[in-house]
Amino acid sequence: MNDSGCIHLSNFKAAKGTNPYKIVHAFFVSCTSFEARRYKATSCLCFTCGQPGPRMHSCLHCIFFACYAGHIQDHSKSKKHFLYVDLSYGNIFCAQCQDYIYDRELTEIAMTHRLKEAKSLGINVPFTPWLPNNNEAMALRRLRKRRLISPHTTIGLRGLQNLGSTCFMNCIVQALIHTPLLRDYFLGEKHKCKAQGTGKCLVCEVSKLFQEFYSGAKTPLTLHRLLHLIWTHARHLAGYEQQDAHEFFIATLDVLHRHCMNGVEDTEKKENGRCNCIIDQIFTGGLQSDVVCTSCSGVSTTIDPFWDISLDVAGPGSLQACLERFTRAEHLGSGAKIKCSNCRAYRESTKQLTLETLPIVASFHLKRFEHSSQIDRKISAFISFPAELDMTPFMSSHRRAVDVGADNNNAPEGIFEDNRYSLFAVVNHLGSLDAGHYTAYVRQMKGSWFKCDDHMITRASLREVLDSEGYLLFYHKTVLEYECDVS
């Protein structure tokens, strides 16, 4: 495919440049301002039949709108104007070639306009696929040995040696390696470390680990270096005794987060002060706590960031039931009175937790280990969990909609966002509290599951995954939304 379109478009650009396309696209395709949207709504009619379509096009040579039902062809024959812009998608149609023409420069103009349109409307930026620039395209042509992903590929699958009760670490590493956006970030070499050469950056070590996993080699890896760095920066985990996989997961995210912040530019900070490192972009959500005074119904709301959700396991049940209990309003009782700002006195209250914002990766910790002054035990009750999970019932926006009895026409903003998630990793604990072993299931691609038991990797079925006991559950958002950050 030619990056500069056909010869007719090239000749037009050489004579008149890209300004005609910019004007048409900004006013009649992307509509980058309120004025443009009003102008398109009132003036975008076929000059021949007076209708708004079908498939309205604009002539690039002159001011002329025509629908595709023969009228642009008539204009082309009478005026000898051969280039038109499709006003629905911004594509260029060449009447001489009788085809739509791709042009990289015009595609980049269109992308810029779409970003401006999203900002003008206050909506998320629509997804656009990656387009290689000239240097990247040349590199791809030079690279003859490309690794192709087939339904039976094993690229990205490698066992991990147990260094002495380090199965807890191996399982968390497998889950992180198979987190799609984290994989894309590190394989895209996005991390730019300011502490290069010191050997103390965990993010650099994880970046190397991703390269090892996706190198195509199949021999098991030994994670001496990673373990040492974790011990150095999270000393409570140091030692070769068995550790809790959940505690290791949180500690690893914390160290990665801190090292990301040490190695990124100041522009990685958002205006509201929230960290915008890759860890927080993927794993951070917002947990809303509403405390309601039982006397005056005054509400005190706080929103705190979270990396995972720990759920009580009361007995056999389901993940959805655990989440329902987690987000259920709880009466705090007379022994936990809170000073009400309205009543100016200590009152009884209720407290309810809901999810204000969802992370890209939702991580659930089923609290199977019970520690008390009387007994330490493991709760092995079966908790079912789905391959596909809808988080809408547990959202703050959903609760507000239920409280006001909203329907489709007056529901609060955000209630109809897509909150579906897909399971991609499960960490299991086998055995007792004193003598146990961790294994993991990871999804390599859609419908392709593998069991990771230290150095051994074996194929697994989805039914085998869903029938497992489940200790840590990792879900990835099905539909990603992109924020508009264009100034």
Which residue from 201, 208, 206, 215 is spatially nearest to 175, judged by alpha carbons? Answer: 206
Band (196; pLDDT cuts 50, 70, 90): low
- Give CA separation, 355 vs 46, 229, 285, 414, 422, in Å: 49, 33, 8, 12, 18
- 487 pLDDT above the threshold of 80: no
**Arithmetic mean of pLDDT over the chain:** 84
> In the structure, what pLDDT confidence band is assigned to residue 406 with cuts at 50, 70 and 90?
low
Which helix H or strand E contains 61, and what residues bound it? none
Residue 410 has pLDDT above 60, yes or no: no
Instruction: Report which of residues 225 and 268 the model is more confident about.
Output: 225
Q: How confident is the model at residue 297 (pLDDT cuts 50, 70, 90)?
A: confident
- Using CA atoms, how far residue 139 sits from 104, 134, 155, in Å, is 17, 9, 21
Average pLDDT over residues 358-366: 96
Residue 22 CA to residue 8 CA, distance in Å, equals 18
Report whether pLDDT(409) > 50: no
381: Cβ contacts below 8 Å, ≥ 6 apart: 313, 314, 315, 316, 317
Highest mean pLDDT among 73-87, 394-408, 414-428 belongs to 73-87
Position 474 scores a pLDDT of 98
Do residues 409 and 452 lie in contact, with contact meaning Cβ atoms separated by under 8 Å? no
Query: With bands split at pLDDT 50, 70 and 90, how would you rate the model's confidence at 266?
Result: very low
Spatial neighbors of 129 by CB under 8 A, at least 6 apart, are none
C-beta of residue 387 within 8 angstroms of C-beta of residue 351: no
Considering only residues 268 and 89, tell me which one the structure prediction assigns the higher pLDDT: 89
This prediction has a pTM of: 0.70
Highest mean pLDDT among 128-137, 414-423, 439-448: 439-448
Bridge pairing between strands 369-371 and 338-340:
unpaired
Helix (H) or strand (E) holding 115: helix 104-121
Rounded distance between C-alpha atoms, residue 33 and residue 134, angstroms: 32
Examine the pLDDT at 411 and tell me if it is beyond 60. Answer: no
Helix (H) or strand (E) holding 130: none
DSSP assignment of 2-60: -TB--HHHHHHHHHH-SHHHHHHHHHHTS--SHHHHHHHHHH---TTT----SSEEEES
Q: Give the chain's radius of gyration (CA, Å).
A: 28
CA distance 114 to 480: 17
Cβ-Cβ contacts under 8 Å for 437 (sequence gap 6 or more): 167, 429, 430, 431
Give the pLDDT confidence score for residue 27 in this predicted structure: 86
Cis upstream peptide for 393 (omega within 30°): no
How high is the pLDDT of residue 317?
92
pLDDT given at position 136:
77
HEC readout, 445-466: ECCEEEEEECCEEEEECHHHHH
Cβ atoms of residues 111 and 128 within 8 Å: yes
- pLDDT tens digits, residue range 12-32? 999 999 999 999 988 888 887
Q: What percent of the chain has pLDDT over 70?
A: 87
Mean pLDDT of 413-440: 85
> Residues 90-112: what's their mean pLDDT?
88
257 burial level (CB within 10 Å; 0-12, 13-18, 19+): buried
Give the CA angle between residues 439, 442, 444 to the nearest 5°.
Answer: 150
Which range, of 63-72, 135-144, 436-445, averages the lowest pLDDT?
135-144
Angstrom distance (rounded) from CA 331 to CA 312: 17
Band the pLDDT of 439: cuts 50, 70, 90: very high
Q: Per residue in 28-65, pLDDT tens? A: 888 878 888 887 777 788 888 888 877 889 999 998 99
Mean pLDDT in residue range 250-270: 71
CA-CA-CA-CA torsion sign (199, 204, 208, 213): positive
pLDDT (mean) for 326-354:
84
**Residue 128 near residue 114 (C-beta atoms within 8 A):** yes
Residues noted as catalytic: 167, 437
Rounded to the nearest 5°, which phi and psi values hold at 350?
-115, 150
Residue 123 in this model has a pLDDT that exceeds 80: no
Best-predicted range by mean pLDDT among 113-127, 185-199, 242-256?
242-256
Taking the C-alpha atoms of residue 51 and residue 57, their distance in angstroms, rounded to an integer, is 12
Mean pLDDT of 198-212: 85
Q: State the Cα–Cα distance between residues 442 and 463, nearest whole angstrom.
A: 13
- Stretch 68-81: mean pLDDT: 87
pLDDT at residue 125 greater than cutoff 80: no
Burial zone of 86 (CB within 10 Å; 0-12 exposed, 13-18 middle, 19+ buried): middle
CA distance 44 to 11: 27
pLDDT one-digit tens code per residue, 317-330: 999 999 999 999 88
| Mean pLDDT (whole number) for 243-260 | 90
pLDDT, position 404: 66
What is the predicted pLDDT for the residue at 347? Answer: 82
| pLDDT at residue 392, rounded to an integer | 93
DSSP β-ladder status, 349-357 and 330-331: antiparallel
CA distance 306 to 287: 7
- The better pLDDT of the pair 220, 122 is held by 220
